[in-house]
Amino acid sequence: MRDNENGRVDNSRRTWLIATSVAGGVGGVATLVPFVGSLAPSEKAKAAGAPVEADISNLKPGEMMVVPWRGKPVWIVNRTDAMLEDVVKADPELADPHTLNPFSMPLPEYCNNEYRSRADHKNILVLVGICTHLGCSPSPRFSPGPQPNLPSDWPGGWLCPCHGSTFDLAGRVFKNKPAPQNLDVPRYMFVNATTLVIGKDESGEA
């Protein structure tokens, strides 16, 4: 800002500059407030990490249902006696049959068994349906026997369509596959015979 020809400060220019600066400052605050507000977690985001209930009353033997939990698909499978037998048969072909090297969460102690399920509901398998290789979601291939992209002695399980990793009917990865680890088993508990909670057990929330 310069003095005018008479050596005095031009008050009209000063007023214009102050008004412009204030307007810019108000605009900046108006822009900032919504942005800061957007950083606060929404109610939906808060709920995304909460335990979820699953009603398995209509889950027939041999079927699988999918429940979203923390933005991931969780599989619940009602395994038949034949499927449980195939779990045992698959042991020699697995990379980590006892889940000594878990993926992103520790295996719950009550699932530290061959079937990777609770002893009082060993037929019910609960898995995070995300491949431990690059995060694809494997496809169920429960029927045993020869099938496209699977060995002739296939015992039943899952096939990852992205890079060919295979998992048995307990979510354990087979040897010599891209996936380095077994599928995760989240913490869960039964509320009653037909309802289970994913993300929570007797010790509290996951």
Check which CATH number belongs to the domain holding 131 and give it.
Answer: 2.102.10.10
Q: Which of 27, 5, 1, 3 is nearest to 16 (CA)?
A: 1
Q: Which of 6-10, 34-38, 51-55, 161-165 has the lowest mean pLDDT?
A: 34-38
What mean pLDDT is predicted for residues 7-26?
42
Show the domain range for 16: 1-40
Find the Cα–Cα–Cα–Cα dihedral 183, 185, 186, 192, rounded to 10°.
140
Instruction: Specify the pLDDT at position 40.
Output: 39
Q: In terms of domains, do 85 and 11 share one?
A: no
Q: Is the pLDDT of residue 143 over 50?
A: yes
Nearest to 102 by CA among 17, 186, 189, 43: 186
Residue 26 and residue 103 share a domain: no
Q: Are residues 155 and 180 located together in one domain of the fold?
A: yes
Same domain, 86 and 27: no
168 and 75 in a single domain? The answer is yes
Q: Is the model's pLDDT at 22 over the cut of 50? A: no
Same domain, 51 and 36: no
Same domain for 131 and 183: yes
- Same domain? 27 vs 94: no
Domain count for the chain, please give it. Answer: 2
Rounded distance between C-alpha atoms, residue 97 and residue 20, angstroms: 70
